[in-house]
Amino acid sequence: MKLFILMTSLGLCWARIIHFENDYQPQQVHISFGDKTNDIVVTWSTFNDTKSEVKYGKHQMNKLASGSSKVFVDGGKMHRRQWIHRVLLPNLEFNTRYMYRAGSDNGWSQMFSFKTPPAGEDWVLRIAIYGDMGVNNSMSLPFLKEDVAEDKYDMILHVGDFAYDMNEEEGRVGDRFMNMIEPIAARVPYMTCPGNHESAYNFTHYSHRFTMPGEESNLYYSFDVGPIHFVSISTEVYYFTQYGLKLISNQYEWLKKDLAKANSDANRKSRPWIILFGHRPMYCSNSNDIDCSLEYTRKGLLGLYGLEPLLKEFGVDLVIWAHEHSYERTWPLYDNRVYNGSYLQPYVNPRAPVHLVTGSAGCREGRDHFKNNPAKWSAFRSQDYGYTKLKAYKRGPIYIEQVSADLDGKVIDSFWLLKNFY
């Protein structure tokens, strides 16, 4: 009996030691661009406070960068805590592969690697784009993992709605999701915008778990990669007005200045493409649609701060949305009217932005259905689970494909977007 008690006590002590060590073990590792594409920010979580360090290097991990952590308290009843760590790896060499581990002497992550983009604008940029991916029914994830393992992307855009939902189970669903995407997000910059499923506790799970460039990165930001100026916005400020109406006007004024600068002759010469992304679409032909009919982001609230006129005024080329669990491509479109480049070549020198809805990555809510008779501006649509691939060529066209997870990776839609350069 005494031996049993001693063994039991030792077992409890050992369990406590294991739990203690796991509290310091990095998890949920992911990377994003900093203020420049050769600045990479590494973000991860631990469940106890410890140093924030990254060992990294080209051929061996002979460099050490330090950062900081911030405690994040979930808004649920248990008030679960975790420490979100951020470390900037600044001024890296362009077009170079780096190895790295995140953590501290109390525990290190596995070794990951990433490749910085080439310098300048004249190279082929490759992106995977999707929204609305959950822990359950994440149909596109196996294909994305395979693509990333084969080094097919320079970055990823996740256009809102993560995990379903990150706050559920006292935040544990968010932890599972971040660990689930680690095989891709720890290797390729994972750039994001908020969706409606991040609204709990004033979007705190989104704002704490992701690190985007810019002072207002919790809501909106922009960044340049290759020949494209990217703009990320929050469509949610128009819907969750209890968090402040001022957020709408602040974003609007910021967006107007950002697009005006990106559309200047000097910037168009170096980066001829402008792509904006946000969660809820301005246009869709889904049968269960509510948001596209409300038109809050398109026309504004009470006619104020509508965003669509800015897209036309400053020549935004492509607008990417999610939210609807389907894929839809429009013709060049403004104010419900088609502005094709020409009858035979609608996407050559289009006279208005092209809209894409790509919210079919897979989540517990399943697919969204379409109306039987779409509007004239709808060019292609599909209910298949899947994701979007984009290539921007050296001072040339943009090529877009939609991949079907239902059809084992088959491309079900594709088109070229071309224009005369400045």
Tens place of pLDDT for every residue, the chain, 422 residues? 444 444 444 444 444 444 444 789 999 999 999 999 999 999 999 999 999 999 999 999 999 999 999 999 999 999 999 999 999 999 999 999 999 999 999 999 999 999 999 999 989 999 999 999 999 999 999 999 999 999 999 999 999 999 999 999 999 999 999 999 999 999 999 999 999 999 999 999 999 999 999 877 778 999 999 999 999 999 999 999 999 999 999 999 999 999 999 999 999 999 999 999 999 999 999 998 888 888 999 999 989 999 999 999 999 999 999 999 999 999 999 999 999 999 999 999 999 999 999 999 999 999 999 999 999 999 999 999 999 999 999 778 999 999 999 999 999 999 999 998 75
Q: Which amino acid is at 259?
A: L
Q: How far apart are CA 248 and CA 237, in angstroms?
A: 6
Nearest to 328 by CA among 308, 355, 307, 348: 355
The encoded tokens of residue 360 equal: 């079919």
**Cβ-based neighbour number of residue 391 at 10 Å:** 16
DSSP, residue by residue, 204-267: HHHHHH---SSTTTTT-EEEEETTEEEEE--GGGGT-GGG-THHHHHHHHHHHHHHHHHTSHHH
Dist. CA 125–CA 191, nearest whole Å: 15
